[in-house]
Chain A
Amino acid sequence: MAVIKKKKDKGLPAVNTSALPDIVFMLLFFFMVATVMREVDLKVSVNKPQATEIQKLERKSLVTYIYAGSPRVKYQDKFGRSPRIQLNDAFATIDDVQAFVIQEREAKSEEDRPMMTMSIKADKSVKMGLITDIKLQLRKAQALKINYSSLQPKNVEALYSSEN
């Protein structure tokens, strides 16, 4: 007797996942192109000021960062709350700035040195006293190209309101 056997378990057919790697690779390439490596572990909280006349920093390799702001919560019991400077991955004092700039300049290639830009990433609540001290140290170290890191405001009116 020829009995047509019915398949017993008629489960769902397996979803074809052969295109999954392609999709993931696409995402991967997007992120590789659109993002940059995280430079440092921020130890100070930086809430950047807002400005409209901002320019993009073109070549990352020419830029050196100086961070200023009050230490983040987990460092506060050790370093207090008053604004501090962060260079690379560590807290620093104002006297370290000049040596840091010189050291950074030495690390760059000869032709890049005159184009070196110092990007000051400071919290908007930091007092100008600290910023002025940094600027004086930069002048002494002959690092004259600076950039006040700021954000493009979402709407221009917010720029003139008293909270910011």
Chain B
Amino acid sequence: MARNKRAIPEINAGSMADIAFLLLIFYLVTTTMDTDKGINRKLPPWDEELVEDPPPIKERNIFTVLVNSNDQLLVEDEYLEISQLREKAMEFIDNNGDGSCTYCKGYKVSSSSDNPDKAVISLQNDRGTSYGMYVKVQNELVAAYEDLREKYAEEEYGKSYRGMDAEEDKDVIKEIKSAYPQKISEAEPLNIGG
């Protein structure tokens, strides 16, 4: 009886650690940690023939942002620092000149935009503008919209727009986005200080 109880020889697991280390080092070398993040944008589709007459937009509904080759900003014919751009853009979008926007807090200045739906930001840069500056300007303009949406969400829904879940609050996000539609138009760049 006792003879049948032959002990199974133990598997030598001493080199298991070596194998695991090998795999670990392989992964350390071939992979990277950095996650990809960035500003999402959409390009206008390419048309061979230029659109003959673009729809007329009132001068007051356009917020012009120019960036020259020395990375300086000219906003609405006025020299501006990048740190002031967000504030200016928000004032413009939220102006509510014709009073049709019930949730806007703007100053209703007659020389600024009618309502957020009509307000268009026009961005033009030089071919010599640095990409870093361009991204910064884009970032500020997007941030202006995001800040307004954030305020709107706090008031209407009592929660943070940035903290919303893309799937769960789908309809709410859509509604907020339509309250402040993002309208940033990019003109062909100039080539002055190339």
A pairs with B: yes
Contacts of A120 in B (CB 8 A): 38
| CB <8 Å contact, B38 and A38 | no
Contacts of A32 in B (CB 8 A): 27
Q: Does A66 contact B (CB under 8 A)?
A: no
Contacts of B79 in A (CB 8 A): none
Q: 1/0 per residue A147-163: CB within 8 Å of B?
A: 11111100000011000
| CB <8 Å contact, B38 and A126 | no
Measured CA separation A27–B44 after assembly (Å): 46
Contacts of B191 in A (CB 8 A): 129
In the complex, which residues 124-175 of chain B have their Cβ closer than 8 Å to any Cβ of chain A?
125-132, 134-136, 138-139, 142-143, 146
In the complex, which residues 119-148 of chain A have their Cβ closer than 8 Å to any Cβ of chain B?
119-120, 122-129, 131-132, 135-136, 138-140, 142-148
For chain A, the count of residues having a C-beta within 8 Å of the partner chain is 59
Instruction: Pick from A20, A136, A139: contact of B17, CB below 8 A.
Output: A20
Contacts of A144 in B (CB 8 A): 42-45
Measured CA separation A138–B44 after assembly (Å): 10
Q: Could you tell me the distance in whole angstroms from the C-beta of A137 to the nearest C-beta in chain B?
A: 9
> Which of A35, A60, A145 is most buried by chain B, counting CB atoms within 10 A of its CB?
A35
| CB <8 Å contact, B36 and A56 | yes
| CB <8 Å contact, A55 and B37 | yes
Q: 1/0 per residue B8-42: CB within 8 Å of A?
A: 00000110110111011001101111011111111
Contacts of B35 in A (CB 8 A): 36, 56-57
Q: Could you tell me the distance in whole angstroms from the C-beta of A27 to the nearest C-beta in chain B?
A: 6
Residue of A nearest to B37 (CB): A54
Q: Does B176 contact A (CB under 8 A)?
A: no
Contacts of B16 in A (CB 8 A): 21
Q: Does B106 contact A (CB under 8 A)?
A: no
Measured CA separation A43–B39 after assembly (Å): 23
Q: Does B82 contact A (CB under 8 A)?
A: yes
Which residues of B are in contact with A by a Cβ distance under 8 Å? 13-14, 16-17, 19-21, 23-24, 27-28, 30-33, 35-46, 81-83, 125-132, 134-136, 138-139, 142-143, 146, 188-189, 191, 194
30 example contacts (A-B, Cβ-Cβ < 8 A) are as follows: A18-B13, A21-B17, A28-B20, A31-B28, A31-B31, A32-B27, A36-B31, A37-B31, A38-B31, A51-B139, A53-B139, A54-B38, A55-B37, A57-B36, A119-B36, A119-B38, A123-B131, A125-B132, A127-B131, A129-B189, A129-B194, A138-B43, A140-B46, A147-B41, A148-B38, A148-B135, A149-B38, A150-B38, A150-B139, A160-B81
